[in-house]
Amino acid sequence: MLMEKRFPNGRLLKLVVGDITRTPADAIVNAANSALAGGGGVDGAIHRAGGPAIMRELDQIRGKGCPTGSAVVTGAGRLPARFVFHAVGPIYRDGKRGEPELLASCYRRCLTLAEERAIDTIAFPSISTGAYGYPIRDAARIALHEIAQHLDLECKLQQVMFVLFSEADYGVYAKCLEENRLDE
């Protein structure tokens, strides 16, 4: 499954179903926890596939932590990428405790890290929609909106991919993209 949206400036937004740990990109985004201590889901998969080098780098950063809505960068170990951006999304409670802004902030911070490193391609998972319980449709709208706003600007990024774990998640993202609901 693959869906693409090409922007007037030639930049590309892609949706795919797959394994982010096997996705070639300059940077892969990890849905991390604020302790940067590894975990399950995307985080566990990235650490297993990338090997111990990623955790060794996180050990150097961990004392400072990473607040919700932000991200830190490490090398990618054995992953087919140069960098891993460890983004800490919000735990969803009711959507009225700043969760939308914190989720949007994760994406913006990763985009800033990408620009600072002159990255051409970046792959995102669906941040906060697994164990953190963020409703997938709401999360997809926020994620796609932030990416579309960035790709509309003058930037170094040429391609952003959402590598979605399931066909169901892909379907939600694809529907939001088809509806062109990127301006909410």
The CA distances from residue 177 to 72, 96, 120, 143, in Å, are: 28, 25, 22, 11
- Alpha-carbon Rg for the chain, nearest whole angstrom, is 15
User: Of the listed 43, 59, 94, 138, which one is catalytic?
Assistant: 43
Strands (E), the chain: 2-6, 12-17, 27-32, 71-75, 83-88, 121-124, 159-164
Q: How far apart are CA 20 and CA 42, in angstroms?
A: 8
Q: How far apart are CA 157 and CA 89, in angstroms?
A: 22
Question: Does the annotation mark 152 as catalytic?
Answer: no
Annotated active-site positions, please? Answer: 43
